[in-house]
Homo-oligomer: A and B are copies of this chain.
Amino acid sequence: MKRTEGKRNMANRIIKLSAAIVAAASAVGKYEYEGPLGDTFDLHDSTDKFGMKTWEKAESEMQRLAFNTALAKASVSEREVEALFAGDLLNQCVGSSYGLLDFDIPYFGLYGACSTAAESLMLAAMTCGAGYVSSCAAVTSSHYCAAERQYRTPIEYGAQRSPTAQWTVTGAGAFLVGRDGRVRLTEALPGIVVEKGINDASNMGAAMAPAAADTLLRYFRQSDTSPEEFDLIVTGDLGFEGGSILCELLLAEGLDIRSRYNDCGMMIYDRERQDMHAGGSGCGCSAVVLASHLLPRLERGELRQILFVGTGAMMSPSSIQQGLAIPGIAHLLRLEREKEMMR
């Protein structure tokens, strides 16, 4: 177990960003389309195959489609995008390297497990905000069937799922990041790897919750804000199990976020009707919920400012087999709707 008590690194701090999300798009599978946010996603395929012969190729195809759709929405050509920040859950991140192969754009491959949507947006905003590029993109994905056979067992085996297990979202989200736009990325607090002894790969929410608590505590201690100032504090994929652990961990530290808290993994499926156990997970989970549900609400002014906390469980099947506990990470972004008077 990681011992961070008493040696808190005070050097790490909130990074001020100056960038905006110019456009976003999503592609999802059957269950995501049938869920409560189904109408909001740009593309879906009820076969989960997107015309491909393998689940891995389907995941790549979702990335390609989501990025192309984001380009089309913003009327931006591929030539104007100067960098791609991309990642996924597949071994060696082949969802991204093959999915974005057709594009003639400098490529930064990332691996932050399910936190990659937030990590990629953060690095895109940092790169753009610093003026290194004027336009770049963040693209991430996950696929239920590809993830199951890689991390657990092929779905054909019909393995029993535990109540704390989460359902990897079949989906890809793409974000174009530039300097101007209605939804601004104003602050980032990158996550620190936290491991609290959880070694049950069917309970990733519990493994990631301490990392989310660590990041949120650091954020509220460093910033002059309270949870009530945000319309929403949303984690990526803690699910019902991890989400409630997060709220408890924070309450024990005197921080109550419950009135503002939600989780993309709790939002994407209908708990009663779809029975996805502890909720959605995966890089695609937070990516598609942010791209197609939260961003439009920010654009319409229904949400004015939110904290988006991408959560990731960075184990591998080998590390679990070798008896190691699961390291979690949580990257925080502050998103704000640009005020009308500032336009």
Q: Which residue numbers of A lie inside 8 Å of B, CB to CB?
A: 2, 4, 7-13, 15, 54, 56-57, 78-83, 87, 89-94, 97-98, 100-102, 104-113, 119, 123, 126-127, 129-133, 135, 150, 189-193, 195, 314-319, 322, 324, 327, 329
Minimum CB distance partner of A324 in chain B: B98
Q: Point out the residue from B54, B108, B126, B317 that lies within 8 Å of A110, measured CB to CB.
A: B108
How many angstroms between the C-alpha atoms of A129 and B129 in the bound complex? 12
Instruction: Give how many copies assemble into the complex.
Output: 2
Is A101 touching B193 in the complex (CB atoms < 8 A)? yes
How many angstroms between the C-alpha atoms of A123 and B193 in the bound complex? 19
Known: A112-B109, A132-B126, A329-B107. A97 touches B193 (CB 8 A): yes
Task: A89-B92, A108-B119 are known; give 7 further A-B pairs, CB within 8 A.
Answer: A9-B79, A11-B82, A57-B322, A91-B317, A98-B327, A101-B327, A105-B192
Q: Please give the distance in Å from A268's CB to the nearest CB on chain B.
A: 23
Q: Please give the distance in Å from A212's CB to the nearest CB on chain B.
A: 14
Task: Find chain B residues with CB under 8 A from A57 CB.
Answer: 322, 324
Is A192 touching B316 in the complex (CB atoms < 8 A)? no
Q: Please give the distance in Å from A320's CB to the nearest CB on chain B.
A: 10
How many angstroms between the C-alpha atoms of A80 and B102 in the bound complex? 41
Is B192 touching A79 in the complex (CB atoms < 8 A)? no
How many angstroms between the C-alpha atoms of A192 and B97 in the bound complex? 10
How many angstroms between the C-alpha atoms of A150 and B318 in the bound complex? 10
Is A92 touching B111 in the complex (CB atoms < 8 A)? yes
Q: Please give the distance in Å from A75's CB to the nearest CB on chain B.
A: 15
Is B316 touching A101 in the complex (CB atoms < 8 A)? no
Is B107 touching A109 in the complex (CB atoms < 8 A)? no
Task: Find chain B residues with CB under 8 A from A315 CB.
Answer: 92, 94, 97
Is A319 touching B15 in the complex (CB atoms < 8 A)? no
How many angstroms between the C-alpha atoms of A182 and B98 in the bound complex? 39
Q: Point out the residue from B15, B92, B112, B129 that lies within 8 Å of A314, measured CB to CB.
A: B92
Task: Find chain B residues with CB under 8 A from A91 CB.
Answer: 91-92, 316-318
Task: Find chain B residues with CB under 8 A from A54 CB.
Answer: 322
Is B94 touching A318 in the complex (CB atoms < 8 A)? yes
Is A11 touching B81 in the complex (CB atoms < 8 A)? yes
Is B111 touching A93 in the complex (CB atoms < 8 A)? yes
How many angstroms between the C-alpha atoms of A319 and B95 in the bound complex? 10
Is B318 touching A56 in the complex (CB atoms < 8 A)? yes
Q: Point out the residue from B4, B106, B113 that lies within 8 Å of A191, measured CB to CB.
A: B106
Q: Point out the residue from B2, B15, B97, B107 that lies within 8 Å of A190, measured CB to CB.
A: B107
Task: Find chain B residues with CB under 8 A from A111 CB.
Answer: 87, 92-93, 109-111
Would you mind naming 21 contact pairs between A and B with Cβ atoms under 8 Å apart?
Answer: A2-B101, A2-B102, A9-B78, A11-B79, A11-B80, A11-B82, A12-B82, A12-B83, A12-B106, A57-B322, A83-B190, A92-B111, A94-B316, A97-B315, A98-B319, A106-B192, A107-B192, A108-B110, A110-B110, A130-B131, A150-B318
